[in-house]
A and B are shown apart, each in its own frame.
Chain A
Amino acid sequence: MPLVAAATAVIFSYAADPILADGWARLMDGSVMTGSLERYNGNAYESTRFFTGLNAWMATSAGAFIVGSLLLGFVDGGISEEPGWRGFAYPILQDRWGALPAALLIGLVWAGWHLGPRQWAILFGDGTGAFFAFLPGYAATYVLGVTPLAIIFAWLYENTGGSLLAVFLVHNSFNQTSTTVGFLFPDAPVILGIIAFLWIMVIVILVTRDWRAFGRARKRRALPVE
């Protein structure tokens, strides 16, 4: 229900725009796959063998591309991150402060952690002036985008009885969707749209899904007694 409401709001916001039609055309003519593979290849330059081999296999067919993308997405972001953020940190903080404060704190730390190689490339490539000009907007984008994700994933974790599998799947779904939408609408403010979409989801969850229960501390422990 929250997903449907949020998706509907975003679709309506784009419905009157011809960019939408161009995006669907890109999906059908294969340019999304081509663009994704180019990005994968760009990321994999200087690979020892693993990524170059994987990318070469993914380029062999649309089926291989979809399977490879899903597997990569499931591992990169899902398995690689969620056992720490949701599996370990969230239940402990939730027990102490309640779900919403726990999710918010994790969202902030998670956003900081996400500031990956790109900022350092600007520091080394363009100098400290460019780095400090770039960093505030870059960090703000991550904080605004990752914090609602932390709330959504915490809500999901709560409502699936602590299933990391569910969070892996939704994390993967988000990564794949945001990447694909970026290729579908290269001229649109996709990042702003995604951030708006995520915050709409958070509002819908908090308003329609018992935000009081989600927000207050419930004594629930994450780990076993030895």
Chain B
Amino acid sequence: MANNNSGSPEGFTALGPGKTFSVFPFFALVFVSWLVWIPAGARMAGKLPFYFPTEIPWVGVFMPFFFGTYFIYRYGGKEGLRIHFARFIKWRFKPFY
């Protein structure tokens, strides 16, 4: 289960000793966005010979969300997802710094 590191800010939890995780698969996979942005560019240039709805390129914007969440689930399981989504609504912070 999750355990907090001493001295860590609230909300950060430990992976445990000896565990390392790579972010490079994430860095590579977010570029899946380009698979929809390249045809979107062709559409903008008027060179795409078929209908290409605006909603499709917008999906590309969400690749960091999708793959970030996927890898958190893969590495951290359901507890990782719980902590991850709790940060979406973590509203207790100072208004000024």
Contacts and interface: CB of A to CB of B under 8 A. Distances in A.
B79 A226 contact: yes
B65 A44 contact: no
A127 to B, nearest CB: 10
Contact of B1 (A44, A93, A119, A224): A224
Given A162-B90, A220-B8, A226 B76 contact: yes
Contact of B44 (A48, A77, A117): A117
Contacts of A163: 11, 87, 90-93
Given A45-B54, A120-B41, A161 B68 contact: no
Nearest to A81: B64
A41 to B, nearest CB: 10
Which size class do A's interface residues fall under?
35 or more
A162 B55 contact: no
B21 to A, nearest CB: 5
B33 A92 contact: no
Contact of B65 (A46, A83, A219): A83
Contact of B72 (A88, A112, A120): A88
Contacts of A46: 43, 51-54
Contacts of B79: 224, 226
Interface in B40-97: 40-47, 51-55, 57-58, 60-69, 71-72, 75-77, 79-80, 83-84, 87-94, 96-97
B62 A80 contact: yes
Contact of B77 (A51, A77, A219, A226): A226
Contact of A2 (B2, B47, B97): B97
Contacts of B10: 161-162
B44 A118 contact: yes
B72 A160 contact: no
Given A88-B23, A93-B23, A223-B83, A123 B97 contact: no
Contact of A83 (B12, B31, B42, B88): B88
A43 B61 CA distance: 14
Contacts of A1: 96-97
Interface of B: 1-3, 5, 7-16, 19-21, 23, 26-27, 30-31, 33, 37-38, 40-47, 51-55, 57-58, 60-69, 71-72, 75-77, 79-80, 83-84, 87-94, 96-97
Interface of A: 1-2, 43-48, 50-51, 76-77, 79-85, 87-89, 91-93, 96, 109, 112-113, 116-126, 158-166, 168, 209, 218-226
13 contacts: A2-B97, A51-B55, A83-B88, A88-B69, A93-B23, A113-B33, A116-B41, A117-B40, A124-B41, A161-B11, A163-B92, A221-B8, A223-B72
